[in-house]
Structure 1
Amino acid sequence: MTPAFPFSAIVGQEQMKLAMILTAIEPGLGGVLVFGDRGTGKSTAVRALAALLPPIRVVEGCPVNAETPEAVPEWAVGVGEAIVERPTPVVDLPLGVTEDRVTGALDIERALTSGEKVFQPGLLAQANRGYLYIDEVNLLEDHVVDLLLDVAQSGQNVVEREGMSIRHPARFVLVGSGNPEEGELRPQLLDRFGLSVEVASPSDIDERIEVVRRRDAFETDREAFMAHWGAEDAKVRDRILAARDALRGVAAEDDALRDCAQLCVTLGADGLRGELTLLRAARALAAYEGDDTVERSHLRQVAPLALSHRLRRDPLDESGSGARVARVVEEVLA
């Protein structure tokens, strides 16, 4: 199996990497939406982060990556009780995928040959406890996107058809990427992603050279390259694991809650999802940086990630959403 490009060796794209790290610390953030040019490392970052994380413990042969034999669904057949380790799953969801392939469906072959009604798990089962990656998410059919976001929020996949009633856990980090020139996501879908990032090809010559140099080194002498960057990846992994343990102990005082609310009101964000996501992201960042309280410095860093995609369009404001968030952050958190 070809190893993933090391996460710490990705040049630049700091906002994208930070968003990925925050979702690894707090999966409840609701996933990441990455919009930008082709070839800017979007899929590389997802696979690199999953490879960096420690393996998950699963019941051998379980189709939903259950952690204990007691958590194995009743409909799963041929599953033992041995516990094995496997890499954090990263499942690709292709364009044109059918709803049955996503959620799972009746195994037609077994139904015809033996008359048995056996459930054939879908991509949501494979992605449980891992990442579900959708390239060109803006081109995915709306009903499939609605389904994915509902399941990502509830953590359960429910299938009721052909006389079957199946339920299984489907907790994953949803990562969508796309090129805005090829179409936009509906606003209600944008709002359901926890964090968003806009990425672009580097314009600095030295940075572009470093990207090419590292990629060439990875492909030319992979073993040496992985050995060199393995220590850096280990540092990031240790910080993520420490942050997971510390997360619930990070306090958010009333002043931080007021700042979250004031930012969202000033920006005109609809609903309360913006405040909740902003607070969760700031708490995850505080844990990652070893702080025990959410401060304004944390809110400043995560506000563009949590709020840029929640803004109403302003035809009189020619600046991008990121610039609008930065401007309001300076006003409110000065």
Structure 2
Amino acid sequence: MNTLVKVDRPVFPFTAIVGQEEMKLALILNVIDPKIGGVMIMGDRGTGKSTTIRAIIDLLPEIEVVEDDMFNSHPSNMELMSSYVKEKIENNISVKTKFIKVPMVDLPLGATEDRVCGTIDMEKALIEGIKTFDPGLLAKANRGILYVDEVNLLDDHLVDILLDSAASGWNTVEREGISIRHPAQFVLVGSGNPEEGELRPQLLDRFGLHAEIRTVKEPDLRVKIVEQRNHFDQDPTKFMDQYQLEQENLKEKIIKAQNNLNKVTIDYELRLKISQICSELNVDGLRGDIVVNRAAKAYAAFESKTQVEISDIKKIMTLCLRHRLRKDPLESMDSGLKVEKIFDRIFG
């Protein structure tokens, strides 16, 4: 009898990716503070969107989960554990734990609502009186990253479900009066090509950050990217070893930022100016103000600071606001440039 051996596919190192700084920064900020609300990456085909998103996982520390639990439950944080584990903890029943890599879940384009949210076995529930839950992708993505390629081609109803779960941190499945609720805290990463259609503004606004990436034009950089890819394909282990030290350094920097995030403060005057920029750009609601504050703190933590400075806000402002501006068909200025122009005026 043949035994199937699970082989880990080599992943292109994050630090070896040439260019696309905006996309890399957006991903790093989200793993430092998942409450930023995910990232939407829009750009041309073949610009390394999927490669970069999969590469970020190798920079994250392993997480402790309860063994034999389908939701990657945290052994001590009540907000990140299923009701089954919570019950055990409350009754002082010890649970076995293990360390796993941060889960990375790909959502296929043709996914149904049941596949995403999970299903309740109604037959068992009605005949035997047992609630049996078949977990969906949201359960598998708890405490990890949920990646949706071509999110602009996904059914709006499904995008709504994903965004609601990402914002609340919970997923509720209800069938015929039976309800199951489980934690679903994940970083939602969407990517797409603008040529294939835009997301509705009210859905786009729910993504914390919006990175725009373009095909590299400089011939020398293009040659470097092709060479990197060839070296990786020929001998992945050797190529990964070359970037081992850089990977470790960046990983350490991210872990340090995660641990120091709560110590970072932002002055009232700076918060006032952030809100002034959002107001002048006619950003609907207060989501923009909240995300800018969060992202500025995350970036300051990444730069080993305890106080947010103007340079930190400048670095993340466009990522946070460009997708929240109202579309004016007569407007010739790029939304990113518009954000920069008003930033420069208000911050002088």
Residue type at the aligned position of 2:136: G
1:74 partner SS? helix
2:172 partner SS? strand
Counterparts in 2 of 1:1-334, with a 5 A limit? 1-68=8-75, 71-74=81-84, 81-107=95-121, 116-334=130-348
CA distance in 1, matches of 2:60, 2:281: 35
Q: Deviations over 1:149-208 (max 9, x none)?
A: 111100011111134210110000000000111111011001100000110110011111
Where does the alignment leave 5 or more consecutive residues of structure 2 unmatched?
A: 1-7, 87-93
Deviation at 1:220, TM superposition (A): 0.8
Deviation at 1:47, TM superposition (A): 1.1
Deviation at 1:74, TM superposition (A): 2.4
In structure 2, relative to structure 1, the CA distance for the partners of 1:199 and 1:74 (3 Å cut) is: same
Please say if residues 138 and 185 of structure 1, whose CA atoms lie closer than 8 Å, have aligned partners that are also in contact.
yes
Q: Deviations over 1:78-129 (max 9, x none)?
A: xx93211111111011112111111110247867997854110100000000
Q: Which moved more, 1:80-89 or 1:66-75?
A: 66-75
Residue type at the aligned position of 1:11: V
**TM superposition score normalised by structure 1:** 0.94
In structure 2, relative to structure 1, the CA distance for the partners of 1:278 and 1:53 (3 Å cut) is: same
Please say if residues 82 and 183 of structure 2, whose CA atoms lie closer than 8 Å, have aligned partners that are also in contact.
no
Q: Deviations over 1:200-219 (max 9, x none)?
A: 11001111111111111111
CA distance in 1, matches of 2:83, 2:49: 33
Say how many residue pairs are matched.
Answer: 333
**TM superposition score normalised by structure 2:** 0.91
Deviation at 1:9, TM superposition (A): 0.6
CA distance in 2, matches of 1:56, 1:81: 15
CA distance in 1, matches of 2:164, 2:329: 31
CA distance in 2, matches of 1:197, 1:239: 22
2:84 partner SS? coil
CA distance in 1, matches of 2:124, 2:17: 46
CA distance in 1, matches of 2:85, 2:296: 40
CA distance in 2, matches of 1:315, 1:201: 25
Q: Deviations over 1:242-286 (max 9, x none)?
A: 111111111111111012111111211111111110010000000
Please say if residues 106 and 162 of structure 1, whose CA atoms lie closer than 8 Å, have aligned partners that are also in contact.
no
Please say if residues 73 and 85 of structure 2, whose CA atoms lie closer than 8 Å, have aligned partners that are also in contact.
no
In structure 2, relative to structure 1, the CA distance for the partners of 1:299 and 1:162 (3 Å cut) is: same
Residue type at the aligned position of 2:150: E
Please say if residues 91 and 133 of structure 1, whose CA atoms lie closer than 8 Å, have aligned partners that are also in contact.
yes
Residue type at the aligned position of 1:305: L
CA distance in 1, matches of 2:316, 2:71: 32
Residue type at the aligned position of 2:33: E
CA distance in 2, matches of 1:300, 1:289: 14
CA distance in 2, matches of 1:320, 1:217: 37
1:323 partner SS? helix
Q: Which moved more, 1:66-75 or 1:150-159?
A: 66-75
2:216 partner SS? coil
Identity %: 50
Where does the alignment leave 5 or more consecutive residues of structure 1 unmatched?
A: none
CA distance in 1, matches of 2:227, 2:252: 27
